[in-house]
Chains A and B, each alone.
Chain A
Amino acid sequence: MSWFKRSTKNIISSEKKDLPEGSWVKCEKCGEMLHKSQLEDNMWTCNKCDYHFRIGSKEYIEILIDRKTFKETDKSLRSNDPLKFVDTKSYKVRLAEVEKKTGLTDAIRTGTGEINGHKVVLGCMDFQFIGGSMGSVVGEKVARAVDRAVKLKLPLILISQSGGARMMEAAISLMQLAKTSARLTRLHKAGLPFISILTDPTTGGVTASFAMLGDFNIAEPGALIAFAGPRVVKQAVGKDLPEGFQKSEFLLDKGFVDMIVHRKELKGKMTQLLGLLES
């Protein structure tokens, strides 16, 4: 019930944390003024405090995948708005607006590509698209990415950033948790690796399905990774939350991620891991 709440508050306030406009950017954490070109060179992390700015699938693909090797798949999938959902705005209008604004067709991009020559199937979520929420399209694209990995006998990498399941597809969204998790059993059975990369934020239904099911769960530093978001937990328990609660470092300490990797080292670590598995 309530676990969804905090995460979708993120959805509403998502604009605030999206990659800022203009050529100078203030670090969210330490306040340092950073030039955009410098930030880009630094893979959108602060060179003073290592704060990881929230970036989208386009940036992650640039960071992780060898130039000109990425081939996007299932690009044309769009939600049918099966419930004709209307709140203060219709879901149909919401979808059209966010597509126009972001150029994305839903909250995940999938494809194949190479990481220093290692072929992989990659999926990367976009928080900009309705808070990275998972509905029919995210579920289907993840399922197809699994199928593709099995067919091509390749490792699967999914980069998560999500407020959870998409409310506007209600129970159908909820079923995407089961759909994606069920499909991952096929990858498992085929003996192929699934690497789950968790970025800020990964909460709700995405955490409670594929994001937590990696053979390797790898988090970016300082990312919020949760089932119920901190505001919901605070409301439920009526007391202050421990320092660093639900951050990557907390999850490492509690045993739910294998390692925390700085964005600048992500490609190197992936190359190392894929190399270890292949040899």
Chain B
Amino acid sequence: MGKQTLEFEKPIIELEQKIDEMRKLSDQLDIADEIAKLESRVNELRTNVYSNLSRWQRVQLARHPERPYSLDYIGLMTTDFMELHGDRYFGDDHAVVGGLAKLGEETVMVIGQQKGRDTKSNIYRNFGMPNPEGYRKALRLMKLAEKFGKPVVTLLDTPGAYPGIEAEERGQAEAIARNLFEMAQLRVPIVVAIIGEGASGGALGLGVGDRILMLENAWYSVIAPESCSSILWRSWDYKEQAAEALKLTAEDLLRQKIVDRIIPEPLGGAHKDPNFAAQALKKALLEEITSLSKVKPDKLVDNRIAKFGAMGSYSGK
């Protein structure tokens, strides 16, 4: 059990604590039956709570402070990870990590947005909010992958691109736009996985690919529910409604044909068993890479442009 409890998890935690207390008493008292009863109740409750999560509750799980981040997945899924640094123009952005690694038998270029876990590492990682040089580093690594014929895997997990003065000066918009343009025509397979928060253009800047995977409790949209609430409802209090309206869960996005495949998480979220989530993701990545590797580069690029070209919903000719 983690230290951090979300509001909707409290009934479960309370029951778990009760069971723990009863166990301590069970030397003196014969209460094994009662404990068993409570255990089946807590299991039922868990299944019930986690299979009926509201969209806002999923957003909270996606932001859970113990949720695995890009480097955790890289550590659990790959071997021989060799991190590469810098965009060669300005600097090295710590909110984006990337490098070569072995995924199964396959050498891949893996690139991800990286959050920190405590105050110090969050400052170092800029809370997972990339600056332009983060996107440019990612592009440099993707071009390397193209040169050496290696597939690209990107992991999306960001509350947004950093809205800072220097970020604007150095062309945050241009950096993201350039990545969309270049990723669309990269001549090696790209598999994208949204592992946590997929907030807007900041996430999409690493998000153009041949297959889009999404973890069960991740969210992906044009805006965070709180900001959406503040703009459309002109109040911060409508985040639950905003999350519902935005239809931002993995299931929603599969239905909208934006995501191709949902990666299952352990009951209660990826942080309950990071290795379970990582192995499920690894399996899916390898399957997708294997099937994409058979496609010729020209066809791969054509299909990718057509894939995004099909997104949208309009009527008229």
A89 smallest CB distance to B (angstroms): 9
Is residue B21 within 8 Å, beta carbon to beta carbon, of the partner chain?
no
**Mask for A178-214, Cβ within 8 A of B = 1, else 0?**
1101111110110000000000000011011111110
Assess whether A227 is in contact with B161, with CB atoms less than 8 Å apart.
Answer: yes
B317 smallest CB distance to A (angstroms): 6
> How far is it, in angstroms, between the C-alpha of A179 and the C-alpha of B312 when the chains are bound?
9
Contacts of B163 in A (CB 8 A): 2-3, 227-228, 232-233, 236
Closest to A239 in B: B165
Is residue A9 within 8 Å, beta carbon to beta carbon, of the partner chain?
yes
B305 smallest CB distance to A (angstroms): 5
Assess whether A171 is in contact with B231, with CB atoms less than 8 Å apart.
Answer: no
Assess whether A227 is in contact with B207, with CB atoms less than 8 Å apart.
Answer: no
Contacts of A81 in B (CB 8 A): 313
Interface positions, chain B 135-169, Cβ under 8 Å from A, are 159-165, 167-169
Contacts of B205 in A (CB 8 A): 208
**Mask for A136-156, Cβ within 8 A of B = 1, else 0?**
110110010000000000000
Contacts of B171 in A (CB 8 A): 212, 254-256
Is residue A242 within 8 Å, beta carbon to beta carbon, of the partner chain?
yes
B248 smallest CB distance to A (angstroms): 7
**Mask for B252-265, Cβ within 8 A of A = 1, else 0?**
11001010000000
Assess whether A136 is in contact with B173, with CB atoms less than 8 Å apart.
Answer: no
Assess whether A177 is in contact with B168, with CB atoms less than 8 Å apart.
Answer: no
Closest to B228 in A: A167
Assess whether A78 is in contact with B184, with CB atoms less than 8 Å apart.
Answer: no
Contacts of A78 in B (CB 8 A): 314-316
Q: Which of B169, B176, B223 contacts A4 (CB 8 A)?
A: B223
> How far is it, in angstroms, between the C-alpha of A179 and the C-alpha of B310 when the chains are bound?
8
Is residue B245 within 8 Å, beta carbon to beta carbon, of the partner chain?
yes
Assess whether B177 is in contact with A172, with CB atoms less than 8 Å apart.
Answer: no
> How far is it, in angstroms, between the C-alpha of A62 and the C-alpha of B224 when the chains are bound?
39
B interface residues, how many (CB within 8 angstroms)? 64
Assess whether B304 is in contact with A137, with CB atoms less than 8 Å apart.
Answer: no
> Known interface pairs A85-B245, A213-B181. Does A170 touch B222 (Cβ–Cβ under 8 Å)?
yes
A99 smallest CB distance to B (angstroms): 13
Contacts of A12 in B (CB 8 A): 231
A interface residues, how many (CB within 8 angstroms)? 73
> Known interface pairs A12-B231, A185-B184. Does A245 touch B311 (Cβ–Cβ under 8 Å)?
no
Assess whether B199 is in contact with A87, with CB atoms less than 8 Å apart.
Answer: no
Assess whether B222 is in contact with A87, with CB atoms less than 8 Å apart.
Answer: no
Contacts of B174 in A (CB 8 A): 212, 256
Helix, strand, loop or mixed for chain B's interface?
Answer: helix
Identify which of B160, B164, B312 gathers the most chain A CB atoms within 10 Å of its CB: B312
Is residue A83 within 8 Å, beta carbon to beta carbon, of the partner chain?
yes
Contacts of A49 in B (CB 8 A): none
Contacts of B309 in A (CB 8 A): 143, 179, 182-183
> Known interface pairs A204-B201, A245-B165, A246-B168. Does A181 touch B233 (Cβ–Cβ under 8 Å)?
no
Is residue A1 within 8 Å, beta carbon to beta carbon, of the partner chain?
yes
Closest to A83 in B: B247
Assess whether A185 is in contact with B200, with CB atoms less than 8 Å apart.
Answer: no
Contacts of B241 in A (CB 8 A): 87
Assess whether A172 is in contact with B312, with CB atoms less than 8 Å apart.
Answer: yes
Is residue B112 within 8 Å, beta carbon to beta carbon, of the partner chain?
no
> Known interface pairs A140-B314, A233-B164, A237-B165. Does A182 touch B232 (Cβ–Cβ under 8 Å)?
no
Q: Which of A4, A136, A177, A186 contacts B204 (CB 8 A)?
A: A177
A91 smallest CB distance to B (angstroms): 9
> How far is it, in angstroms, between the C-alpha of A43 and the C-alpha of B116 when the chains are bound?
52
> How far is it, in angstroms, between the C-alpha of A1 and the C-alpha of B219 when the chains are bound?
12
Q: Which of A3, A171, A177, A188 contacts B256 (CB 8 A)?
A: A171
Assess whether A178 is in contact with B308, with CB atoms less than 8 Å apart.
Answer: yes
Is residue B208 within 8 Å, beta carbon to beta carbon, of the partner chain?
yes
Is residue B284 within 8 Å, beta carbon to beta carbon, of the partner chain?
no
**Mask for B224-240, Cβ within 8 A of A = 1, else 0?**
10011011110000100
> How far is it, in angstroms, between the C-alpha of A45 and the C-alpha of B54 when the chains are bound?
51
> How far is it, in angstroms, between the C-alpha of A76 and the C-alpha of B317 when the chains are bound?
6
Identify which of B163, B164, B165, B313 gathers the most chain A CB atoms within 10 Å of its CB: B163
Is residue A158 within 8 Å, beta carbon to beta carbon, of the partner chain?
no
Interface positions, chain B 65-94, Cβ under 8 Å from A, are none
B163 smallest CB distance to A (angstroms): 3
Assess whether A5 is in contact with B231, with CB atoms less than 8 Å apart.
Answer: yes
Interface positions, chain A 221-249, Cβ under 8 Å from B, are 226-228, 232-233, 236-237, 241-242, 245-246
Is residue B35 within 8 Å, beta carbon to beta carbon, of the partner chain?
no
Interface positions, chain B 194-209, Cβ under 8 Å from A, are 199-202, 204-205, 207-208
Is residue B180 within 8 Å, beta carbon to beta carbon, of the partner chain?
yes
Q: Chain A residues in contact with chain B, CB under 8 A?
A: 1-5, 8-9, 11-12, 74, 76-83, 85-88, 135-137, 139-140, 143, 165-167, 169-179, 181-186, 188-189, 204-205, 207-213, 226-228, 232-233, 236-237, 241-242, 245-246, 254-256
- Interface CB pairs A-B, < 8 A, 6: A79-B314, A85-B245, A136-B314, A172-B311, A185-B185, A228-B163
